[in-house]
Amino acid sequence: MLVVSAIITGLGLGSMYGLLALGFHVTYAVSATVNFAQGSSMMLGAVFAYSFAVRLGWPVPLAAAMALALCALYGILVEFIAVRPFARRGSNAWLMATVALGIVVDNAVLFTFGKEPRGFNMPWATGSFTVFGIGISPLQLAIPAAGIALAAALHFYSRRTRGGKAMLAVVQNPDAARLMGINVPRVISGAFALSTVFAGAAGILIAPLFNVHSDMGTVFGLKAFAVAILGGITSAWGVMIAGVVFGVVEALITALLGSTYTQILSFALVIVVLAAMPNGLFGRAEVKKV
Amino acid sequence: MKTAWTRRSFIATAVTLALGSALPALAADPIKIGLVTALSGQSARAGEAITRGLTIAIDELNASGGVLGRSFELVRRDDEATPAKGVIAARELVFKEKVAVLFGGLDTPVSLAIVPIMNQAKVPFMGPWAAGTPITKNGANPNYVFRVSAVDEIVDKAMLQYAQKNFGTKKPGLILINNPWGASNEKGLRAAMAAKQVTPAGIEKFESNDIDVVPQLTRLKQGGADTLFMAANVGPSAQVVKSLDRMGWQVPIVSHWGPAGGRFTELAGPNAKNVHFVQTYSFFGNQRPVGAKVMKMLMAKYPDIKGPDDVTPAVGVANAYDAMHLVALAIKNAGSTDGSKIREGFYKIGTYAGLIKTYDKPFSPAVHDAITENDYVWTQFIDNKILPVGMVK
């Protein structure tokens, strides 16, 4: 019972990590840059959805759609002001710039939304059913399902649509893509929008199980980056699977050994795996052409 | 526009000068009472509660002629819940404003940072909220720090006592937030359990951003926990309640006062009411004459207070009210506003019929905390109100 309930907990949490990590993957693949403040994007998704659904009383689907649209806009903004100016000059300062922008956003939300955590209680998210003596909330099953669905949608988008194919072209060779008439900056900008939409979706999904506040995404963002590296940041399915594995391992350590060891062991394990497999579980070694 | 400003500033200056020269003729200099607490941000309401408790007590004292023929005056500074800002504010109030006694706020780290300054400056420091054990037990001799509030190690004893009496607890499970406050309570609860030969079913920690506490709680359940002892702020406490809901585990929860700090019912859902937590006072239920008097004064002074519902957080108001009266008695006993003499004055306080209780020799060189484990009120959230346990079924 201990193990099964830990696995269910881990699956839900792991899918969240996976979704955030997928955001890291999308931008890294296209532009070799990431938005380090993915945690803030996740928080924005939850805060926007809460504000529309609870404070303004909008229907939840509309609130969620609007929140995701705003997250996409935020992603475009991140790329435009915190990544592009630095990446264009070949500087790595976007690393710090995205972290700084995340801190600015967290504090702006703190100031406007308030410090008090708020409960995002949705009727469909409360209640639980029992399977083999283990209480499960429907949301705990919905979260991994949504995570996998979004990963699949990304897969479909990149293989079957014009925009997706343009993205793949930029991944393979930005210069050749430009010569073929692909607007590379726009594709990169789109990848950042997609990345923050994934994070925002994670925030909206997790909000009813958690509570909504300005620093709800900080720890998630950190763990998601660890997951992205663990999975091999170049593989979409890799980061999603690594997310789930990390979540389950984390929950199992807590359940079997006690919460004192959770952070120590789960992160130690990340180091061990990366030492043995430097490109992550599913990543391919980058070939540098000289 | 320019003319108006000039005229206005001229009138303002004239009035200030006139008042300034007239004041000394009216009364002796007031005795300044300092307050360093959070007056902005998340804890602003708590800072306001302390202010209100102090203001009501000061108004009452001034109406009856003050002490040593002098009235009291409150001087406040915002610490923004950060120790560095608290230290700057405390220095300013002690050395520049020359306050006779300084009151602290609700954050233990801020109070801990201020304590050495007060012991060095030999000015009494009164804690009306922060519960950290080392605030009063700070190792200084002489010790200028006093408190009228809950104290972690005493709350921990009271939690065990309450659980044993009301739930027949034999094997408690501890679920504590993983920060210094949680660690302080782990120490206190371990000591309290050892004193009563109680062995815990387990001690589990969780992070303030943990979404699911089911694994920790499952361990406690499998360890045979018959009661949960909880010490965590309002958000994480709510995560414990929601995780218990998912597990379908109905177990008594006895908690420190974390849940009182926010919208617990909104965050934790309908089972928020199952958490019994400690408070020092409640304005609900039958009030003794002092309680009725304070309620009446609060309603008269603050138009937004229509009844006990609006006195939030009640502990801030009640602790500050009693603490201010005890400070006045100490100054009266000292016969001066000299810090060392006021400190001695605290030890000479005899009986005082306060709001929380009737204090009988509340302070001695060995005891700087006026509230004991028998003085706590056990409460629960019913909707958005903190009511004494059992008041509403």
- Would you call the peptide bond into B180 cis, given omega within 30 degrees of 0 as the criterion? no
Residue A85 lies in a domain: yes
Is B178 in Cβ contact with A259 (below 8 Å)?
yes
CA distance A41 to A75: 8
Using a pLDDT cut of 70, give the percent of chain A over it: 96
CA distance A123 to A137: 12
Residue B90 lies in a domain: yes
In whole numbers, what is the pLDDT of chain A averaged over residues? 89
Same domain, B62 and B76: yes
Residue A70 lies in a domain: yes
Q: Which region, left, alpha or beta, applies to residue B41 given φ > 0 means left and ψ of -120 to 50 means alpha? A: left
Same domain, B135 and B170: no
State the distance between the two ends of chain B, measured CA to CA, in whole angstroms. Answer: 64
Residue A26 lies in a domain: yes
Residue A128 lies in a domain: no
Residues 6+ apart with CB under 8 A from B75: B32, B33, B34, B35, B93, B97, B99
Identify the CA nearest to A227 among candidates A2, A24, A90, A11.
Answer: A24
ipTM score of the complex? 0.83
Among candidates B204, B234, B245 on the partner chain, residue whose Cβ is nearest the Cβ of A258: B204
The torsion defined by the Cα of B306, B307, B309 and B310, in degrees rounded to 10, comes to 40
Same domain, B39 and B141: yes
CA angle A93, A98, A102 (to 5 degrees): 150
CA distance A284 to A148: 22
Identify the CA nearest to A220 among candidates A40, A55, A56.
Answer: A40
Domain of B206 in residue numbering reads as 153-279
Residue A281 lies in a domain: no
Distance of residue A134 Cα from the nearest chain B Cα, in angstroms = 6
pLDDT value of position B227: 97
Among candidates B42, B205, B248 on the partner chain, residue whose Cβ is nearest the Cβ of A116: B42
User: What kind and span of H or E run contains B379?
Assistant: strand B377-382
CA distance B53 to B125: 17
Number of domains in chain B: 2
State pLDDT tens for residues B254-268.
999 989 877 889 889
pLDDT value of position B41: 67
Identify the CA nearest to B216 among candidates B198, B238, B240.
Answer: B240
Residues 38-57 of B with CB under 8 A from A: 41-42
Picking from B258, B279, B300, the residue at the C-terminal end of a domain is: B279
Q: Is the pLDDT of residue A173 over 80?
A: yes
pLDDT-based confidence at A168, cuts 50/70/90? Answer: confident
Residue B19 lies in a domain: no
Is A9 in Cβ contact with B41 (below 8 Å)?
no
Identify the CA nearest to B151 among candidates B383, B369, B329, B393.
Answer: B369
CA distance A250 to A220: 13
pLDDT value of position B46: 85
CATH, residue A232: 1.10.3470
The reply to whether B384 touches chain A by the CB within 8 Å rule is no
Residue B57 lies in a domain: yes
Same domain, B157 and B275: yes
Residue A17 lies in a domain: yes
Q: Which residue has the higher pLDDT, B212 or A50?
A: A50
Answer positive or negative: Cα dihedral of A215, A220, A225, A228: negative
**What count of other Cβ atoms lies within 10 Å of the Cβ of residue B327?**
29
pLDDT value of position B25: 38
Same domain, B157 and B272: yes
pLDDT value of position A141: 84
pLDDT value of position A166: 87
Q: At what angle do helices A162-172 and A2-31 cross, to 10 degrees?
A: 70
Is B263 in Cβ contact with A216 (below 8 Å)?
no
Q: Are B191 and B154 in contact (CB under 8 A)?
A: no
Is A219 in Cβ contact with B263 (below 8 Å)?
no
What are the residues facing A46 on neighbouring strands? Answer: none
Best to test chain A binding among B206, B242, B245, B251 (most A CBs inside 10 Å) = B242
pLDDT mean by block of 10 residues, chain B; 393 residues: 52 52 58 93 81 97 96 95 94 97 93 96 96 93 96 94 96 92 91 96 90 90 96 91 90 93 85 94 90 95 91 91 98 96 97 96 97 92 89 76
Number of domains in chain A: 1
**Two tokens, residue B57:** 């007590």
Identify the CA nearest to A234 among candidates A179, A169, A280, A180.
Answer: A280
CA distance B393 to B385: 14
CATH, residue B180: 3.40.50.2300
Q: Which region, left, alpha or beta, applies to residue A232 given φ > 0 means left and ψ of -120 to 50 means alpha? A: left
Among candidates A119, A130, A254 on the partner chain, residue whose Cβ is nearest the Cβ of B263: A119
State the distance between the two ends of chain A, measured CA to CA, in whole angstroms. Answer: 55
Distance of residue B203 Cα from the nearest chain A Cα, in angstroms = 9
pLDDT value of position A281: 86
CA distance A31 to A22: 14
Residue A171 lies in a domain: yes
CA distance A33 to B43: 39
Among candidates B205, B215, B267 on the partner chain, residue whose Cβ is nearest the Cβ of A255: B215
Among candidates B42, B205, B247 on the partner chain, residue whose Cβ is nearest the Cβ of A135: B247
Residues 6+ apart with CB under 8 A from B227: B163, B167, B169, B171, B172, B173, B251, B252, B253, B254
Residue B225 lies in a domain: yes
3-state SS class at B176: strand
Mean pLDDT calculated for residue range A10-28: 91
Collect contacts of B61-68 with beta carbons under 8 A, ≥24 apart: B61/B324, B61/B325, B61/B328, B66/B30, B66/B31, B67/B31, B67/B328, B67/B331, B67/B332, B68/B31, B68/B331, B68/B332, B68/B335, B68/B336, B68/B337
Residues 77-116 of B with CB under 8 A from A: none
Residue B5 lies in a domain: no
Same domain, B228 and B326: no
Domain of A201 in residue numbering reads as 2-115+140-276
State pLDDT tens for residues A128-158.
777 777 777 888 888 889 888 988 888 888 8
**Residue A202: exposure state from Cβ atoms within 10 A (0-12, 13-18, ≥19):** buried
Q: Are A25 and A242 in contact (CB under 8 A)?
A: no
Residue A130 lies in a domain: no
State pLDDT tens for residues B345-354.
999 999 999 9
pLDDT value of position B138: 94
Is A251 in Cβ contact with B219 (below 8 Å)?
no
Residue B251 lies in a domain: yes
